[in-house]
Amino acid sequence: MHLKIRHRTEYRYETPVHYSIQELRLTPPDVAGQTIEKWKVSTPIKASTSLDAFENLYSVFVQETSYTSMMIEAEGEVHTQDAYEFIDAPKAVSPYHLLQQTNLTEPTAEMLEVFSSSLPKKKSVDEVMALAAAVQSTILYFPGQTNFATTAAQSFAMKSGVCQDHAHIMLGLCRASGIPARYVSGYFFAEDSPNLASHAWIDFCADVDKKLWLSIDITNACFTDARHIRLAIGRDYYSAAPVKGVRSGGGGEELSANISITQLI
């Protein structure tokens, strides 16, 4: 598919923000399954760009003058095709690093017990897919009950969440089973469900020596395909977040994010 994506994030504050640092991972890479035709990220002031430890392209900008609103926009065109296998570059982060739990992924004893019959005994695709199906059926998709800081344990306790929660729970269970797994942030094209445009899923390492990763969308119970656009990878949401930052001042914050994805002929 040939997709046009527009992602606008706007912040408004009760009182002036005096100082802030924003970190963006809003540029999709050229990898298996996607080719970037054009892409632009617009920020209030010039940003510096680099690669992080996971080879994500990220931008940072610092605002030292007061403001009460801020707009960040990413826009471009991507050609996609079905793909769910990814091989890391030789110098990429070791898959063993992705065995470590984080605060967002750490499973509870109850989680491990509930999913005990579905935990993979080996890195077989069928077993990992069966675990993904178990997570999807146990954790109902229910927007509005969780947020970016919700942990896997908290979402599990509610038995509900969104794609980010599905991903964190799946990461925790894979890692507890000795399977390296990583968080993927990105976009999902669904004409009938535009609210799913901002999306998250996971990669699990099927072959450590070859650094071969297979990509699974837990929320949609499938391998990734031409509908998925990858933005960034990391240990969890926080290390792959499209937009994150810290600020001094501002008081209450109102955040609005709008993502539109259209298919071009």
pLDDT (tens digit per residue) in 196-244: 789 999 999 999 999 999 999 999 989 999 999 999 999 999 999 999 9
- Assess whether 191 and 254 both reside in one domain: no
- Assess whether 220 and 94 both reside in one domain: yes
Q: Is the dihedral of CA 35, 44, 16, 248 positive or negative?
A: positive
- Assess whether 253 and 208 both reside in one domain: no
- Assess whether 127 and 197 both reside in one domain: yes
| pTM reported for the whole predicted model | 0.94
Q: What is the CATH number of the domain that holds 250?
A: 2.60.40.2250
- Kindly tell me if the per-residue pLDDT of 49 is higher than 70: yes
What is the spatial distance between Cα 236 and Cα 255, in angstroms, rounded to a whole number? 22
Average pLDDT score over the chain:
95
Question: Which pLDDT value is given to residue 151?
Answer: 97
Percent of the chain at pLDDT above 90?
91
Beta bridge partners of 228: 188
- Assess whether 163 and 89 both reside in one domain: yes
**Phi, then psi, of 77 in degrees rounded to 5:** -130, 140
DSSP 11-77: EEEEEEEEEEEEEE------BTTEEEEEEEEE-SS--EEEE-TT--EEEEEEE-S-EEEEEEEEEEE
- Assess whether 118 and 132 both reside in one domain: yes
- Assess whether 75 and 102 both reside in one domain: no
- Assess whether 181 and 113 both reside in one domain: yes
- Assess whether 34 and 115 both reside in one domain: no
Number of domains in the chain: 2
**256: containing domain:** 2-79+243-264
- Assess whether 75 and 121 both reside in one domain: no
Structure-block tokens of residue 105: 């992924």
What does the pLDDT look like over 158-175, one tens digit per residue?
A: 999 999 999 999 999 999
